[in-house]
Amino acid sequence: MSGAAVRNGGSVRSMVRSPFVLMVGAVLTWFIAAFLVWPNLNVLIATFFPDGSFSGRAAEKLFSSQRAMKSLGNSFLLALALSITVNVVGIFIVLVTHYFKIRGSRILFLGYATTFIYGGIVLAAGYKFIYGDKGIVTSLLLTVFPGMDPAWFSGFFAVLVVMTFATTTNHMLFVGNALKGVDYQTIEAARNLGASTWTILRRVVLPMLKPTLFAVTILSFLTGLGALSAPQVLGGREFQTITPMILTFANSPTSRDLAALLAVILGVSTILMLAVMSRFEKRGTYYSLSKVSSALQKQQISSPVANAAVHTVAYLLFALYTLPVVLIVLYSFADGAAIQTGQISPGSLTLDNYVRVLTQESGLRPFVISVVYSALATVIAVGGLLLVARLLQKYRNWVASVFEYLLHIPWILPSALLALGLIISYDHPNPLVGGAVLTGTTVILLIAFVTVKIPFTLRMLKASFASVNSSMEEAAAIMGAKTLYVFRRILLPIVLPAAAAIAALNFNSMLDDYDTAIFLAHPLVQPLGLVIKANTDGAEGVEGVANTFVYTVLLMVITGLTMYLVYGRSSRRRAGRKNSAAGASPDPATSPALVAAGTEPAAPVR
Amino acid sequence: MRKLQTLVAAAVAVILLAGCGGGAASPAASGDASTAPPAGSGETLVVYTNSNGEGRGEWLTAKAAEAGFKIEVVGAGGADATNKLIAEKNNPIADVAFGLNNMYFAQIKAEGALEPYDPAWAGEVDTALGDSGDGKAYWPLVKQAILLGYNSDKITADAAPQDWTDLWTKEEFKDRYERVTGLGTATAQLVFAGILTRYKDESGDLGVSDEGWKQVEQYFQNGSPAVAKTDLFARIAAGEVDLGQMPSSIIAEREKSFKVNVETVAPSVGVPLAVEQVALVKGTDKKEQAQKFIDWFGSADVQGAFAQQFNSMPVNKTAATKANPEVVEFFADVKQQDIDWDFVQENMGAWVEKIELEYMT
């Protein structure tokens, strides 16, 4: 940590002087007003002031309900517990795959990366096949310990375990990425000074990952609060969360105020968490002070005992991560009855499920529609927010803060209510969008997709801008480079890998969206989520459950491909770049001219 | 650096092109189809339904095309479809809605999103099963009985419960029946409509006596909670539970898939009937075409063919002769519970809320 100089670049006055900032600000203000504030204000007014006057009915009902309070408590418990466990497991797998010398780390990486490609109800079901009362592992354990409870894997413990392993995706992508940016010379210097592996990790490496760790912790917290399928499948009587109740109430016009109130409680706590984290973040961002940074080299764990232990745990985790995926793929070939009763025999595996799903009349069309929608929404959200995140990270004043918090509005309401807000605001000509009617068009779903992805995209982009060494940018500015030039030539290349990862995650998460699409999709352009729902839901029949598995595997293929195209390739490209930049090339990370000015931290120290 | 930039620029360009190209291709193509229909076949009708699963949507689209109707079926669960129709009432997207039961349609009608219309086949159906208000807006198509079923390999007809209330009052059924974990589905709501309507009491909370709410409490306390994504029949096959709620239409198929035998209880008060309806959406700009479609869809021929294909019980009297004889026989025997639907429709939202908040554990 260094530097106490307060840069004058962050004030409101300097902000309004830049025409570039004013332009971005104008567009942003319109977007926020039209698509974040106005629709959601409408839906909240409609729910809380049904007859023009406020009623405290919702709060009264909720606070006197034992079940609601217990479920709410469970959601918070899960959110807090996940913020810790996901960090522990997430940091461990990142270190194992990126930091320490571990045999077979590439294979381990692939195993840990399976959470990139699937989630939700099927993931929970996958764990149930293994550890549930009729699961494979449980059957094995029962032969060893006949007295044990077959239903051992349920309740809070089971939900926490499953969700912990299921949500390390953000760590793998973003913490992994930030770790690659750590300057190896600091590590070497620390080692030369006699620091142990553990000390280096704790005092040098982890502090430099702080901005990213804060960002992913907020996401873990949010995931815990919004937990839906894992508690439903594994929570049992004892551990049910609030989300199922929110969804039921959001669907009932007479109880929508309860859903909105619950959602607002969860949303506001997320924003509070965000505020606390931002506080921590502002207290100090850690940067390497070295003039010439160099790429990270993998560390050998010196103690043979520790080394063996880390290897063992790493491979154990590998098994935990990969087993459910293998079983899901296997079960996708079984018939629905076998899936639900957990009984499977090699002879019963057929291609029938795939034939049924893929030869439907609608065929591949919903897949194409979803891919196009997701791609467009991703490009718009990430592209637009690149500029915004950069400005919010550069200008730290009250105006920027207001914008930043406004952009988190989509975290406050569940997507069903966001969609309702858009409908009631734009089912008539509205001056905010040039007098157009948006309902019944293909645009409205795109708008919803973009807005839903804004908070996540912004958080992660801001974190990756925060970990950029500001010295290069300042050097460029001193040499007369314009704002856009600096952004394009210096900042963009550095944050691009993170942006690509965010884009891939956004893309994947929108492919099977149902909650937004059900209200907003154009009747003739129906995305995949609606088709999946039609084929998997209803009475949860035999074919329905089998179809769920087939769709999951098909989505795994698409998302796996996306991750490979965007992430796998970009990391290889970067590796290639590093090699070619080994000489005296003007790579920003190694250019002596640029680092000369690099003593000041990007974050103003308050 | 320069090389990297070129690469990045190329990548971005490719993504943009792919996005725009695809985007322009598919939505625009289908958009054209909807706005500029070919003459003769008429415009594309948008049909909302919760009854499109298990091939129904495809079957209907194909049959309608044969009859000269171009339709686009939009599937959504009962509650979702209801909310969607209400939310879109100022600028409706759908032209016709069908499959929702009378409770849902009553809600939609109350919000003013339906256009009254007397279909050509109005005389062939029992109007008591449809809209009971003035200016009939929704018309009955298919009957569905909401039943309490039990594993007949384990429980003999003599030992079986006589009514829902036996589940929690008789020791032998406690923890042996599946109870719901949410009241979002039409089936669950109808089960409770059938129970609560028996305890109507104007001085009671939400029109139901304390005794009635006690039944609900007992139902939740003594049942085995349903498991997400695990069918009741799968649980019966695994021996976890022996009894539970089921709509009549699914029983035959599930028995076969899960290799179990199920019989149903015939309470002396009768069983709740869910009647799927069809209605014209208010404000559609294809009104004439939509009316023609309703006339066609509810006709004896089409309903009969639908019943044959999907084992349903048509309300249309002529169509009933074409339905599966077993189904017809079953419905001939089944006694319909006398439910005060106005009372139920008025209170269902509040009941669901109360049950979710106070009795579900």
What is the reported pLDDT for A357?
81
pLDDT over 70 (residue A146): yes
Distances (CA, A) of A415 to A71, A410, A513, A529: 20, 8, 10, 14
The pair of three-digit structure tokens given for residue B254, joined into one six-digit string: 């599930």
Name the one residue in this structure whose structure tokens are 């009264």: A60
Q: Which of A72-76, A349-353, A369-373, B238-242 has the lowest mean pLDDT?
A: A349-353
Range with the largest mean pLDDT of A572-576, A585-589, B64-68, B249-253: B64-68
The pair of three-digit structure tokens given for residue A456, joined into one six-digit string: 């996540």
What is the reported pLDDT for B184?
79
**B87/A337 touch (CB, cutoff 8 Å), yes or no:** no
pLDDT over 60 (residue A598): no
Confidence grade of residue A482 (pLDDT, cut at 50, 70, 90): confident
Asked whether the beta carbons of A438 and A426 are under 8 A apart, the reply is: yes
**B54/A538 touch (CB, cutoff 8 Å), yes or no:** yes
Q: Residue A475 is which amino acid?
A: A
Instruction: Note whether B103 and B120 are same-domain residues.
Output: yes
How far is residue A20's CA from residue A11's CA, in Å, rounded to a whole number? Answer: 15
Residue B28 belongs to some domain of the structure: no
Q: What is residue B171's DSSP assignment? A: G
What is the reported pLDDT for A494?
84
The pair of three-digit structure tokens given for residue B190, joined into one six-digit string: 């109808």
Interface test with B, best of A348, A423, A514, A590 (most B CBs within 10 A): A423
Using CB atoms, pick whichever of B1, B19, B181 lies closest to residue A372.
B19
**B349/A229 touch (CB, cutoff 8 Å), yes or no:** no
B22 interfacial to chain A (CB closer than 8 Å): yes
Which residues of A fall within a CB distance of 8 Å from B360? 67
B252 interfacial to chain A (CB closer than 8 Å): no
Interface test with B, best of A426, A524, A578 (most B CBs within 10 A): A524
**B79/A427 touch (CB, cutoff 8 Å), yes or no:** no
Pairing type for strands B138-151 and B313-314 reads: antiparallel
Q: Residue B347 is which amino acid?
A: N
What is the reported pLDDT for B42?
62
Instruction: Note whether B268 and B138 are same-domain residues.
Output: no
Which residues of A fall within a CB distance of 8 Å from B231? 340, 539-542, 545
How far is residue A27's CA from residue A403's CA, in Å, rounded to a whole number? Answer: 12
The pair of three-digit structure tokens given for residue B302, joined into one six-digit string: 């089409």
How far is residue A131's CA from residue A119's CA, in Å, rounded to a whole number? Answer: 17
Q: How far is B87 from chain A (nearest CA, A)?
A: 7
Distances (CA, A) of A297 to A186, A190, B195: 12, 14, 69
Higher pLDDT, A524 or A36: A36
Instruction: Note whether B106 and B56 are same-domain residues.
Output: yes
Asked whether the beta carbons of A343 and A139 are under 8 A apart, the reply is: no
Residue B151 belongs to some domain of the structure: yes
Question: Quick one: B202 exposed, middle or buried, by C-beta within 10 A (0-12, 13-18, 19+)?
Answer: exposed
CATH code of B132's domain: 3.40.190.10
Residue B196 belongs to some domain of the structure: yes
**A121/B228 touch (CB, cutoff 8 Å), yes or no:** yes
Helix count and strand count (H, E) for chain A: 33, 0
B90 interfacial to chain A (CB closer than 8 Å): yes
**A65/B15 touch (CB, cutoff 8 Å), yes or no:** no
Q: How far is A78 from chain B (nearest CA, A)?
A: 18
**A428/B91 touch (CB, cutoff 8 Å), yes or no:** yes
Q: Hey, which residues does B97 pair with through a beta bridge?
A: B48, B279
Residue B7 belongs to some domain of the structure: no
Name the one residue in this structure whose structure tokens are 């797998």: A93
Q: Hey, which residues does B168 pair with through a beta bridge?
A: none
What is the reported pLDDT for A483?
78
Summarised one tens digit per residue, pLDDT across range A319-347 is 999 999 998 898 889 887 777 776 777 77
Q: First CA to last CA across chain B, in angstroms?
A: 61
How far is residue B340's CA from residue B194's CA, in Å, rounded to a whole number? Answer: 10
What is the reported pLDDT for A171?
92
Helix count and strand count (H, E) for chain B: 14, 13
Distances (CA, A) of A252 to A538, B104, B188, B348: 18, 11, 14, 10
What is the reported pLDDT for A21?
86
Higher pLDDT, B77 or A517: A517
The residue count of chain B comes to: 361
Interface test with A, best of B49, B52, B356 (most A CBs within 10 A): B356
What is the reported pLDDT for A288?
54
Residue B228 belongs to some domain of the structure: yes
From the CB of residue B327, how many other CB atoms can be counted at a distance below 10 Å?
Answer: 20
The pair of three-digit structure tokens given for residue B207, joined into one six-digit string: 């029109």
What is the reported pLDDT for A539?
43
- Give the percent of chain A with pLDDT over 90: 31
Higher pLDDT, B194 or A571: B194
What is the reported pLDDT for A302?
83
Asked whether the beta carbons of A561 and A375 are under 8 A apart, the reply is: no
The residue count of chain A comes to: 606
Instruction: Note whether B115 and B162 are same-domain residues.
Output: no
Q: Hey, which residues does B138 pair with through a beta bridge?
A: B279
How far is residue A182's CA from residue A142's CA, in Å, rounded to a whole number? Answer: 47
Find all residues with CB under 8 Å of A146, minimum gap 6, and list them.
none
Q: Which residue, B57, B48, B58, is CA-closest to B86?
A: B48
DSSP per position, A390-444: HHHHH--SHHHHHHHHHTTGGGTS-HHHHHHHHHHHHSS-BGGGTTB--TTSSHH
Instruction: Note whether B159 and B251 are same-domain residues.
Output: yes
B75 interfacial to chain A (CB closer than 8 Å): yes
**B1/A371 touch (CB, cutoff 8 Å), yes or no:** no
Asked whether the beta carbons of A537 and A512 are under 8 A apart, the reply is: no
What is the reported pLDDT for A177?
83
Interface test with B, best of A518, A549, A564 (most B CBs within 10 A): A518
Q: Hey, which residues does B74 pair with through a beta bridge?
A: B48
Q: How far is B354 from chain A (nearest CA, A)?
A: 9
Higher pLDDT, A217 or B134: A217
Asked whether the beta carbons of B134 and B149 are under 8 A apart, the reply is: no
Confidence grade of residue A563 (pLDDT, cut at 50, 70, 90): confident
Q: What is the dihedral of CA A288, A293, A296, A301, to 10 degrees?
A: -60
Instruction: Note whether B78 and B212 are same-domain residues.
Output: no
How far is residue A61's CA from residue A75's CA, in Å, rounded to a whole number? Answer: 19
ipTM score above 0.90 = no
Pairing type for strands B70-75 and B44-49 reads: parallel
Summarised one tens digit per residue, pLDDT across range A148-187 is 888 899 899 999 999 999 899 889 888 988 888 788 888 8
Instruction: Note whether B55 and B91 are same-domain residues.
Output: yes
Summarised one tens digit per residue, pLDDT across range A225-262 is 988 888 888 888 889 899 888 888 887 888 888 988 99
Residue B10 belongs to some domain of the structure: no
Find all residues with CB under 8 Å of B209, minimum gap 6, and list them.
B199, B200, B201, B203
> Can you give the residue range of the structural domain that contains B261?
145-272+339-359
**A534/B61 touch (CB, cutoff 8 Å), yes or no:** no
Find all residues with CB under 8 Å of B190, minimum gap 6, and list them.
B101, B103, B146, B272, B274
Q: Which residue, A500, A577, A366, A534, is CA-closest to B15?
A: A500
Q: How far is B93 from chain A (nearest CA, A)?
A: 6
Alpha helices in A512-541 (DSSP H): 517-520, 528-536
What is the reported pLDDT for A292?
56
Using CB atoms, pick whichever of A67, A525, A535 lies closest to residue B360.
A67
How far is residue A599's CA from residue A3's CA, in Å, rounded to a whole number? Answer: 7
What are the structural domains of chain A? 1-49+366-577 (1.10.3720.10), 68-331 (1.10.3720.10)
As a whole number, mean pLDDT of residues A425-436 equals 91
Q: How far is A203 from chain B (nearest CA, A)?
A: 32
Instruction: Note whether B213 and B161 are same-domain residues.
Output: yes
How far is residue A316's CA from residue A323's CA, in Å, rounded to a whole number? Answer: 11
What is the reported pLDDT for B21?
37
What is the reported pLDDT for A593?
31
Question: Quick one: A479 exposed, middle or buried, by C-beta within 10 A (0-12, 13-18, 19+)?
Answer: exposed
Instruction: Note whether B217 and B355 are same-domain residues.
Output: yes
Residue B16 belongs to some domain of the structure: no
pLDDT over 80 (residue A147): yes
Using CB atoms, pick whichever of A369, A375, A440 lies closest to residue B18.
A375
Q: Which of A45-59, A304-318, A419-433, B79-93 has the lowest mean pLDDT?
A: A45-59
Instruction: Note whether B346 and B282 are same-domain residues.
Output: no
Percent of chain B as helix, strand, coil, to the nearest 5: 50, 20, 35
Tally of domains within chain B: 2
Q: Which of A43-52, A528-537, B10-19 has the lowest mean pLDDT?
A: B10-19
**A542/B253 touch (CB, cutoff 8 Å), yes or no:** yes
State the DSSP H helix or E strand holding residue A485, giving kind and residue range, or none if neither.
helix A483-486
Instruction: Note whether B265 and B149 are same-domain residues.
Output: yes
What is the reported pLDDT for A290?
52
State the DSSP H helix or E strand holding residue B228, giving kind and residue range, or none if neither.
none
Residue B26 belongs to some domain of the structure: no
Instruction: Note whether B258 and B185 are same-domain residues.
Output: yes
Q: Which of A207-221, A561-575, B331-345 has the lowest mean pLDDT?
A: A561-575
Confidence grade of residue A407 (pLDDT, cut at 50, 70, 90): very high
Q: Which residue, A266, A363, A356, is CA-closest to A542?
A: A356
**A538/B22 touch (CB, cutoff 8 Å), yes or no:** no
Confidence grade of residue A548 (pLDDT, cut at 50, 70, 90): confident
What is the reported pLDDT for A29?
95
**pLDDT-flagged residues of chain B (< 50):** 1-41
Which residues of A fall within a CB distance of 8 Å from B347? none
How far is residue B323's CA from residue B319's CA, in Å, rounded to a whole number? Answer: 7
From the CB of residue A436, how many other CB atoms can be counted at a distance below 10 Å?
Answer: 12
